């Protein structure tokens, strides 16, 4: 357990992730980065770390982290990559490993992921594989990474064949979710993160979805208390599910609501700037809700309620036209056939029974998926 007496009084919440020897805390609050060195020091085996970040985050937040580490007497080196999904690639991973080895990062030293989900997934995978495993800390700087990607230990890279197809389950030692870091985040990225926030309401917490119907706009518009509540509720749900099923043998698959479609859309766009992960997941959740109505598990009225909330906050509902992309149901289905939840050659979909209750099924035929895609894709 983290020694929270070392944290400033702007620490609002501590959410534990209970995984035996791999347990850790998620600390949520404002202005936490200024105290990060003091908080981290007792967790580190050795007073030397490598910070991995991207150019955009480095320009805004790296200095604050470096100063905090200096104050605590922790040596550090920074490795900076271009921003964007393209950095979750084998080429960047290879470059990162070379730089970590050139810097002689030892097994008892640690990596700090300072950034969004791209930096978190990349750094986590590097930590899992460097000298067969070094500790890593998540300092998530996007709403998406604070509510979702920094927690639960899914790390990895995209492959030309599909999203997140190379990776490892490898838990961080601590997650430091500093809400103040979101002040510099563009609105498009706030909305991308909000898609994963709504996911937590839809898949397992109807009360939270209803809270979002009232307060979602505040979360999106920058209200600190609303953002803290949204991060806390999301990670509490994620921590509970991950503690039950760390390696996705069962219930954890529910966290993939909207992702079987969403990842296929991302793969088809080549992980470019026109459709980010949160947007693809938002559209994928609408597809899952529509398919749930067709399958008879969700009523049309609840599907309409989900659509209305997405519209109210500004989440995308439809697949956009993207230059150079010719959408085709067959191609999207082809990407879905690479999904990691496939077993026995059958696509597993996460559908809704109700707002607040998701379930996994292999009973939807490929013809039914194609029919849904024909309705939902442009053109
Ligand atoms: N491991 C998991 O459980 C998990 C969960 C959800 C998503 N993901 C992965 O996360 C990735 C998406 O993460 P993301 O949405 O954070 O994207 P991202 O990491 O690409 O960040 C989005 C953009 O925001 C910029 N940025 C980050 N923090 C900023 C800040 N504080 N101020 C200004 N700009 C900032 C980045 O430079 C980038 O351009 C995807 O690859 C997705 O597959 C993983
Ligand atoms: O943590 C999980 O489990 C999730 O599914 C969270 C998702 O939001 C996230 O995008 C995850 O990376 C998807 O995992 P994948 O196994 O489908 O690649
Ligand atoms: Zn996701």
Q: Are residues 232 and 128 in the same domain?
A: no
0.90 exceeded by pTM: yes
Mean pLDDT (whole number) for 240-255: 98
Is 85 close to ligand 2, i.e. is its CB under 6 Å away? no
Instruction: Residue 53: give the domain boundaries.
Output: 4-184
Q: Are residues 218 and 355 in the same domain?
A: yes
What is the band of 273 on the pLDDT scale with cuts at 50, 70, 90? very high
Is 335 close to ligand 2, i.e. is its CB under 6 Å away? no
Pocket test for ligand 1, best of 26, 56, 279 (most atoms within 8 A of CB): 56
Q: Which residue has the tokens 């085709």?
A: 328
Q: Are residues 367 and 230 in the same domain?
A: yes
> Is 189 a domain residue?
no
**Residue 259 annotated as part of some ligand binding site:** yes
The CA 256 to ligand 2 mean position distance, Å, reads: 6
The CA 147 to ligand 1 mean position distance, Å, reads: 11
pLDDT for position 55: 98
Q: Are residues 280 and 324 in the same domain?
A: yes
**Residue 117 annotated as part of some ligand binding site:** yes
The CA 293 to ligand 3 mean position distance, Å, reads: 23
> Is 166 a domain residue?
yes
> Is 349 a domain residue?
yes
Give Cβ neighbours of residue 324 (< 8 Å, ≥ 6 apart): none
| Residue 8 reports pLDDT greater than 90 | no
Point out which residues pair with 20 in neighbouring strands.
none
> Is 332 a domain residue?
yes
> Is 81 a domain residue?
yes
pLDDT for position 6: 80
- Which residue, 184, 214, 245, sits at the end of a domain? 184
DSSP string, 127-143: HHHGGG--EEEEEE-SH
How many independent structural domains does the chain possess?
2
> Is 191 a domain residue?
no
Q: Are residues 212 and 175 in the same domain?
A: no
Residue pair 114/57 in contact (Cβ under 8 Å)? The answer is yes
- Write the CA distances from 292 to 11, 111, 191, 278, 289, integer angstroms: 40, 42, 24, 21, 5
Q: Which residue has the tokens 């439809």?
A: 318
What is the band of 1 on the pLDDT scale with cuts at 50, 70, 90? confident
Burial class (CB in 10 A: 0-12, 13-18, 19+), 157: buried
> Is 155 a domain residue?
yes
Q: What is the mean pLDDT of the chain?
A: 97
Q: Are residues 66 and 212 in the same domain?
A: no
Of 11, 283, 26, the closest CA to residue 173 belongs to: 26
> Is 192 a domain residue?
no
Q: Which residues are near ligand 1 (CB < 6 Å)?
A: 54, 56-57, 60, 83-85, 88, 115-119, 121, 141-142, 144-145, 148-149, 152, 154, 164, 181, 184-185, 189, 192, 276-278
Q: How far apart are CA 72 and CA 82, in angstroms?
A: 29
- Which residue, 184, 215, 248, sits at the end of a domain? 184
pLDDT digits (tens, 9 = 90+) for 24-69: 999 999 999 999 999 999 999 999 999 999 999 999 999 999 999 9
């Amino acid at each position: 357990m983290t020694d929270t007496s070392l944290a400033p009084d702007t620490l609002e919440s501590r959410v534990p992730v209970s995984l035996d020897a791999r347990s850790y805390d998620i600390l949520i609050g404002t202005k936490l980065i200024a105290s990060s060195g003091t908080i981290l020091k007792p967790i580190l085996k050795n007073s030397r770390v490598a910070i991995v970040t991207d150019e955009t985050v480095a320009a805004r937040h790296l200095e604050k982290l470096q100063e905090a580490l200096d104050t605590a007497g922790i040596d550090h080196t920074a490795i900076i990559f271009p921003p964007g999904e393209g950095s979750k690639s084998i080429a960047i991973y290879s470059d990162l490993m070379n730089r970590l080895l050139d810097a002689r990062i030892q097994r008892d030293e640690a990596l700090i992921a300072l950034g969004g989900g791209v930096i978190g997934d990349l750094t986590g995978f590097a930590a899992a594989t460097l000298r067969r495993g070094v500790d890593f800390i998540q300092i998530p700087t996007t709403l998406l990474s604070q509510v979702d990607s920094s927690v639960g230990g899914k790390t990895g890279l995209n492959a030309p064949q599909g999203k997140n197809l190379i990776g490892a389950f490898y838990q961080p030692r601590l997650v430091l979710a500093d809400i103040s870091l979101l002040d510099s985040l563009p609105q498009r990225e706030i909305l991308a993160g909000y898609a994963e926030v709504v996911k937590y309401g839809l898949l397992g917490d109807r009360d939270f979805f209803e809270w979002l119907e009232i307060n979602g706009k505040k979360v999106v518009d920058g209200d600190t208390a609303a953002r803290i509540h949204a991060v806390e509720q999301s990670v509490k749900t994620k921590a509970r599910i991950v503690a039950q099923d760390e390696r996705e043998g069962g219930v954890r698959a529910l966290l993939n609501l909207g992702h079987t479609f969403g990842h296929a859309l991302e793969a088809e766009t080549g992980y470019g700037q026109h459709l980010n992960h949160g947007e693809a997941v938002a559209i994928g959740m609408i597809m899952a809700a529509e398919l749930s109505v067709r399958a008879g598990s969700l009523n049309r009225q609840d599907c309409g309620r989900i659509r209305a909330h997405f519209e109210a906050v500004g989440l995308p509902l439809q697949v956009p036209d993207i230059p150079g992309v010719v959408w085709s149901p067959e191609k999207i289905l082809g990407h879905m056939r690479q999904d990691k939840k496939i077993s026995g050659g059958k696509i597993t979909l996460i559908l809704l029974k109700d707002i607040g209750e998701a379930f996994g099924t292999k009973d939807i035929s490929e013809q039914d998926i194609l029919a849904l895609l024909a309705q939902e894709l442009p053109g």
